[in-house]
Amino acid sequence: MVTYTPPLRDMRFVYHELLDGDALAEIAQYADYTPDVIDAVLEEAGKITSEVLFPLNLSGDTEGCTLKNGVVYTPKGFKEAYDQFTQGGWTGLAAAPEFGGQGAPAALHFLVQEMICSTNMAFGMYPGLTEGAYNAINLHGSDKQKALYLPKFVEGTWSGTMCLTEPQCGTDLGLIRTKAGPQPDDSYKITGTKIFISAGEHDLTENIVHLVLARLPDAPEGIKGISLFVVPKFLPNDDATVGPRNGVTCGSIEHKMGIKASSTCVMNFDDATGWLVGLPHKGMSAMFTMMNTARLGVGIQGLGLGEAAYQGGLDYAKERLQGRALKGAESPDKPADSIIVHPDVRKNLLTMKSLTEGIRALSLWTAINLDKAEKSEGAAERQRADDLVQVLTPIVKSFGTDKGFLAANLGVQIYGGHGYIHEHGMEQYVRDARITMLYEGTNGIQALDLIGRKMGAHYGRYLRAFFHPLQEFIEENADNEEMQAFILGLAKAFGRLQQATGILAQRGLRDPNEAGAAATDYLNLFGHVAVAFMWAKAAKLAFNKKDADPTGFYSGKLKTARFYYERVLPETSSLFAMIMAGGDSIMGMEEELFGAAVAA
């Protein structure tokens, strides 16, 4: 069976030491979040996730959700766990105090989310969707909507969803057909069908509030004609209690590859009463408030599953006895050595460890800048922070989930045949991780966003938010002898990224397919360089602290950083070569030739 221990030591290292998250307490809204408070919250989050959520992960996957008479029932234990979760205040951790929340920094919230995803990703979908609905209404809703819905979201008695996808449209939301008919009382009648709606129906809360994209009668064609509506399952009374049932029903639930304990629903809206959120025909801008935050959250899902898979693989590698070390028996008193003595197993473990810890640092750097972008007093600082968040969001989402899925697969490999068996718990991570590469915009879409929108935005301003601090770090440490291996490796990889950026910018102007053909390789090149930057900063800290550390934590950091630079970062060479090859071999293939071998 897989095991999990909250990685609090590494979380504290990244927050307090590597990225100076403690400086967030200088922002007025975060003044209460001192280092002691941060550590206490992480400690408590570690308890509820490991002691309450983790024991339900495998059983919830086995049982799944069931639909009976229009009601979705979550697996055994989920309702009790959700009640304990809400009573602990976890649904309001990052919410504004004016609505009953605790006003925590996004950086702290991200670390808590990681532990939730490591221990029970399916469970985390329910409060996660509510957070997205909270963000959209908080930024775009009326004062009346905020006063009604946000306190209910914070206390966890009402939950939220986002209803975008329809049978005929996924990424291309301009094809939406759901209609919104204006009523004399300023409400609207919503009619249409939405699919793939996570947490669309369940038994955890007394009400479910749907945020629905739909078209008004006078809507322009395409994406510019979409509006956003709030459509509750039960219509609220004037005193914010639950009233009569609205015209919203769950038609069916999907039978999925993974996250089986998360209800994924087909939702039917039949003259359901809803209210406009924000301005008419501006629904996409409001919905992207949810989606951008959700994309970072999905990246954290990949990170959390990667950490869980690493821990499970490490424990198994220490305990499983098979064969002897290549140089001779290391445990001659036992019938065989543990498999951690074998180079290939160690390589798999170190790949998982170096990527997971590096992506944790990259994700938290993004979260800290998200806090600065939203709460810093100076406009210039807010813009610099937001620029960095804009360019790193598709990378955290795509690179984080790609590598989370890789870690889950490597975990199965370490387990061998036992990893393929459901009862051991490792294969579930693979199935759960697969969806993270698909929803909130597939990873291919993230790559197109990076290269098509972010790369050239504001004449390269977003890119400079990342390029400049990295270049400054290289220059500041150029004469640091013990850092030479890291600085040289980082400079070479960064040089490839800079060169690829310039060439793709030129090629893309001539032929957009050239940029599109290289987009995924470019994002992965960017992701490796960004993680290398985090590891170089970690190595510098570790050099300064390892001699005074009896636990070996900093020595372990140095050795993991060395592995990343010698065994993972060289992938940038092959990615660069593929980018430079151009798009002819991809776009030059006639469509009919794809099936030529079958036809013949």
Instruction: Locate 224 and state its tokens.
Output: 């510019």
Between CA 248 and CA 267 the distance in angstroms is 7
Q: Which two tokens stand for residue 519?
A: 């987009």
Selecting among 440, 482, 571, 591, the annotated active-site residue is 440
402 close to 437: Cβ distance less than 8 angstroms: yes
- Note if 440 is an active site residue: yes
Burial class (CB in 10 A: 0-12, 13-18, 19+), 357: buried
Residue count (the chain): 600
Taking a C-beta distance cutoff of 8 angstroms, is the pair 352, 306 a contact?
A: yes
Task: With beta carbons less than 8 A apart as the criterion, state whether 553 and 13 touch.
Answer: yes
Sole residue written with tokens 């509820």: 48
Instruction: Give the separation between CA 331 and CA 392, rounded to whole angstroms.
Output: 46
CA 262/CA 122 separation, integer angstroms: 5
Token couple for 168: 């005929």
Find the radius of gyration of the CA atoms of the chain.
25
Name the helix (H) or strand (E) containing 248.
strand 248-253
Distance in angstroms (rounded) separating the CA atoms of residues 91 and 275: 24
φ/ψ (deg, to 5) at 212: -120, 130
Helix/strand number for the chain, H first, E second = 18, 11
CB 118 within 8 A of CB 305: yes
| CA 78 – CA 72 distance, rounded (Å) | 12
At residue 286, φ and ψ (nearest 5 deg) are: -70, -40
Q: Which residues are catalytic?
A: 440
